[in-house]
Structure 1
């Protein structure tokens, strides 16, 4: 598997001969998670699912930033504690991402649970004279890390002259960043330098090295984290260890709305809760995977509707496969193998989910074509279904599995409805039809038989 590495700006081969260790920067828990967070986390979910499908062991760490100025400000505005705010939004995070069928990380470390690790990390940076104590807190001295800017490709002299730099007379250099902030506002902790709380960047360095070691395989996040967050992580981590930090840096493009960045001031943020209620998990996952992960993607109702149309074809495919019972054989093995190989190659080439989806929907189209032409035999259906379900699992898409008992129950209802119609007992027939409608069962007519499918209930379709 090859992945585009932001640091070297080239494709790097992922070493899959051993356990693959991944650190993904999670969310700051002061508000609802939105579609931008969903895209990043879904991309990494597919990467992980693919590797696990190939039998590769994964250690996946995703942090929660649960101490931050934004959390404290929210707590003060709502007259509650920072802990109450972070607890609420962590609970909501799991509701959202469980709803999106995202696998749980191996561990979800929180900044507040690793204060001791963070303090030890800062102590070593001070000992090495790479961090210093000032009247406002402890700062990392950027001038002591000559490679600063290597991830974002920003030049130090240009950054120093940039008007966006926050001026703080307590810093030796305007680029220096806080690793510990002195404060008398809760939450705060004792430290050798004074009461306060950690800076934003230091928590990820302390927690990633604690759980994954000094040099791990992949560090990821949204493109908006390249500078300053990931740039600062590299500076403090490599200063701390003297070694390369992460082998590969993977960054996911932003989700825009009508070409504009999502922002509270414009009021165009789409929360996961909102899009899930309206479109359901499968459509959201298809949307997030529809373009190459490194490029921005524009959220629009049209694109969601396109994905809904495709999803209905996938649902039809599943039900055609489970209803197939003829002895026909089109020898589908070679086409299924070809599409399976295309799917794998796409994901191995820098997680190209766009091309992987193309192979998946080609498989769907082939199965639906055979069914429409009355050529889908049960043995062929079995071969297609195995590959269809494998792709579905890797993409994290989900069609609720029909047990034989459930299938039998619906078959019986349809048979009874047909019998009532023939006997001109239309009221009884209509009652069964209404019950089937409530269950989202749709009938598909074939020559000489009628089969059924259970459609996912999508609120936005109504």
Structure 2
């Protein structure tokens, strides 16, 4: 059975969806005022991997991820770029889809936008006011935080701890509140800002209310999984719970999942736009194979931080090259395979054991680090199998389907291309030659060893590097 670490309870729990055949899943999407950076992409990759594993395990996943397309940052960026907020949002939504598409992230079943749900947001706030969980104050509307008795449960904070921080805030907004802990559901419009008409005057919604409205509208009052980055745990997700459960009197989400940060530098600093230490996916995919980036992001267990540097990408490339090379070697040997061999039942049983092991590892809170280790074990087994004088069509087909299915979960598509093995070998030889010219002998030796593992022997001659297969 799949187990998920639930942030709300701070322990692993057996996964039991509301509908045994379908999983409802909501993941907080980007605020679309710039290209996404690798840290943003980590969340999209993590939950795409979770989604694909759930689908592999037989679930139909109704996956919803929003776009925040009205926000202070969007308004500011639009003004700087002499665009309307909608024009800016439209541009970066398309950029997001292209960049995540390059990383083989499956598009959400629905991508709701805030501006398309303004009537729903206003009606939601009106319900909270009617239930005395919210109040209007000089054009704004605030949520009465203390009235929700479970506030702070998700982030494991007491109301007293939160009060100390809130009491130190000052400013016009604080003066409008009954209590420093209260947070905005609706904000009155500033001069020359985009706005919508409401019962409380011209304004726009607060950030937190948006996800409560879109999640419940598209997935129902109670959803199976709610995901997002660790930085959203408080206050965003904490406030989502308070708003949603106050309105519906039902549990908002049964499982809360939060992915770890992408870190940079020796100190392991979180990558973020505010710190200016980010690398955008838009630029990086021009320099690095997008599948290498995806592999680097998806093969670390989602709750763990990922150090992002050249070594991380190089390690991912080396490991992915090994898988790709073995797969292409498999395709090559399959061309001369025999229909069946006496050892087929034994080998198919071995593959079944590998699959069982893969599921055990991945069922443990989507532990992709251990899951990919099983993939490496299969690749090692495959390399030995392909060294045989004869290979079976039945076994080759089984391992081909297994590798394609598993790698799809990690966002890697293993495809059959005519001549691709020879082309890959030649490309690696060219890379090795360049490494030798650059006196990067470690990489040169690494490529030689990689090819040797795949049954490719290199011969350095005065006329250049030649290669041959061990079974030629």
Which range, TM-score by smaller chain?
Answer: 0.7 to 0.9
The total of aligned residue pairs comes to 417
The one-character-per-residue Cα deviations of 1:60-81 (angstroms, maximum 9, x if unpaired) are 1100000110101111222221
> Are residue 245 (structure 1) and residue 273 (structure 2) matched?
no
Distance 2:222 2:420 in 1: 54
> Are residue 187 (structure 1) and residue 194 (structure 2) matched?
yes
1:364 shift after superposition: 1.4
1:391 shift after superposition: 0.8
Counterpart of 1:128?
A: 131
- Give structure 2 stretches of 5+ with no counterpart: 427-464
Counterpart of 1:420?
A: none
Structure 1 stretch 217-226 or stretch 266-275: which is displaced more? 266-275
Counterpart of 2:4?
A: 3
1:318 shift after superposition: 1.1
> Are residue 112 (structure 1) and residue 118 (structure 2) matched?
no
Name the SS for the 1:335 alignment partner.
Answer: helix
The one-character-per-residue Cα deviations of 1:297-347 (angstroms, maximum 9, x if unpaired) are 110111211111111111111111111124477542122112111111222
1:380 shift after superposition: 2.7
Q: How does 1:28-43 map to 2 (within 5 A)?
A: 28-43=31-46
> Are residue 174 (structure 1) and residue 177 (structure 2) matched?
no
> Are residue 139 (structure 1) and residue 142 (structure 2) matched?
yes
Name the SS for the 2:287 alignment partner.
Answer: helix
Structure-2 change in CA distance of 1:78 and 1:391 (3 Å): same
Normalization by structure 1: what TM-score? Answer: 0.86
Backbone CA RMSD of aligned residues: 2.2
> Are residue 294 (structure 1) and residue 303 (structure 2) matched?
yes
Q: How does 1:23-422 map to 2 (within 5 A)?
A: 23-162=26-165, 166-167=169-170, 168-184=174-190, 185-258=192-265, 259-264=268-273, 266-324=275-333, 325-327=336-338, 331=344, 332-372=347-387, 376-402=391-417, 406=418
Distance 1:112 1:360 in 2: 44
Distance 2:92 2:237 in 1: 24
Moved over 6 A (4+): 408-411
1:375 shift after superposition: 5.9
Structure-2 change in CA distance of 1:409 and 1:120 (3 Å): closer
Structure-2 change in CA distance of 1:409 and 1:392 (3 Å): closer
* Contact map agreement 1:321 1:382 (CA 8 A) in 2: no
Structure 1 stretch 319-328 or stretch 308-317: which is displaced more? 319-328
1:131 shift after superposition: 0.4
1:199 shift after superposition: 0.2
* Contact map agreement 1:367 1:376 (CA 8 A) in 2: no
The one-character-per-residue Cα deviations of 1:198-230 (angstroms, maximum 9, x if unpaired) are 000001001111111111100000000000000
1:109 shift after superposition: 0.2
